Amino acid sequence: MKAFTYERAESPAAAAAAVAARPGAKFIAGGTNLLDLMKLQIEEPVHLVDVNRLALDKIEPTPDGGLRIGALVRNTDLAADERVRRDYGVLTRAIVAGASGQLRNKATTAGNLLQRTRCPYFYDTNQPCNKRKPGSGCAAIGGYSRQLGIIGTSDACIATYPGDMAVAMRVLDATVETVQPSGSTRHIPIADFHRVWGDTPHIDTNLQPGELITAVTLPKPVGGTHIYHKVRDRASYAYALVSVAAILQRDGSGHVAIGGIAPKPWRVEAAEAALPQGAKAVATRLLAGARPRPDNAFKVPLVERTLAAVIAQAKDAA
């Protein structure tokens, strides 16, 4: 690990200003992703701004009947919150499908959204990787790509966004709240938060330098059956090959988002109109333009089959 300096932020605006003032500075929350990347010298921040003591750890009702989740709410606390379990079950299910109990006790809402890809070549500093080192190439293209993306990818990078929680937040139409170094605030729909990165895969999100996430808000509950179905190589401690977050209504309508296949949680609202026609019709629309590689072409039928399982589960539950 390389030497770095450290400070503890006193307010959200001060934290944002502190990171903006030092090129190469980063926020640290639970540290469960950032510290691993620092030990491998994939991330080399010169200065860390610790946000853990900011008062951003509450889950509160919003005036329009939704919930506001502070950026520092730990994954365990968010999944266990009785309002979340009752009204946003897909979120609880997605969170507990990720990582391990110990990790979820430390991991925060904001840090989880910003976790970096799990492409094996991103972690191997002997390999070219445009995401780690812009312009160096992509070892995964022509290499081992079984876990990697099939849609929204580019000739520069075929990695996926690896997280579970954000897939549920996408189906719930969450909004990310931030404070900028100037002190002004911003509301970013989750659909626009993660990037389809094209030829700049080193930039994962649309956050500006120094912009601090302060909360994530959920709109008022929409009812329905909430399901998160994660297909992975092992029953725990493994990232999704494909995951489906779904909110399905008795009349067959609903919303679905897919994880494990793209640079961001993948949702195509127009595809949801096909839900009453079944999984094949939805998957065809969701995956229009997909560019699977020989190693990961199995994800195309896997999306359809996972959707079919989710639709069947919702019918059983109704």
Ligand X SMILES: Cc1cc2nc3c(=O)[nH]c(=O)nc-3n(C[C@H](O)[C@H](O)[C@H](O)COP(=O)(O)OP(=O)(O)OC[C@H]3O[C@@H](n4cnc5c(N)ncnc54)[C@H](O)[C@@H]3O)c2cc1C
Minimal distance, residue 135 CB to ligand SF4, in Å = 10
Minimal distance, residue 63 CB to ligand X, in Å = 23
Q: Which is nearer to ligand SF4, 4 or 144 (CB)?
A: 144
130 binds, among ligand X, ligand SF4, none (CB under 5 to 8 A by kind): ligand SF4
| Residues at the interface with ligand X (CB under 6 A) | 26-34, 36, 51, 71, 98-99, 103, 106-108, 110-112, 114-115, 163-165, 212-213, 237, 239
Minimal distance, residue 271 CB to ligand SF4, in Å = 25
Minimal distance, residue 4 CB to ligand SF4, in Å = 24
Q: Which is nearer to ligand SF4, 116 or 255 (CB)?
A: 116
Q: Which is nearer to ligand SF4, 136 or 206 (CB)?
A: 136
Question: Hey, what amino acid is at 94?
Answer: A
Minimal distance, residue 260 CB to ligand X, in Å = 10
27 binds, among ligand SF4, ligand X, none (CB under 5 to 8 A by kind): ligand X
310 binds, among ligand X, ligand SF4, none (CB under 5 to 8 A by kind): none
Q: Which is nearer to ligand SF4, 42 or 283 (CB)?
A: 42
199 binds, among ligand SF4, ligand X, none (CB under 5 to 8 A by kind): none
| Residues at the interface with ligand SF4 (CB under 6 A) | 117, 119, 121-122, 129-131, 138-140, 148, 157-159, 201
Residue nearest to ligand X (CB): 111
Q: Which is nearer to ligand SF4, 133 or 280 (CB)?
A: 133
C-alpha 175: how far from chain center: 13
Minimal distance, residue 151 CB to ligand SF4, in Å = 14
**In the 3-class helix/strand/coil scheme, how is the chain assigned residue by residue?**
CCCCEEEECCCHHHHHHHHHHCCCEEEECCCCCHHHHHHCCCCCCCEEEECCCCCCCCEEECCCCCEEEECCCEHHHHHHCHHHHHHCHHHHHHHHCCCCHHHHHHCEHHHHHCCCCCCCCCCCCCCCECCCCCCCCECCCCCCCCCCCCCCCCCCCCCCCCCCHHHHHHHCCCEEEEECCCCCEEEEEHHHCECCCCCCCCCCECCCCCCEEEEEEECCCCCCEEEEEEECCCCCCCCCCEEEEEEECCCCCEEEEEECCCCCCECCHHHHHHHHHCHHHHHHHHCCCCCCCHHHCCHHHHHHHHHHHHHHHHHHHC
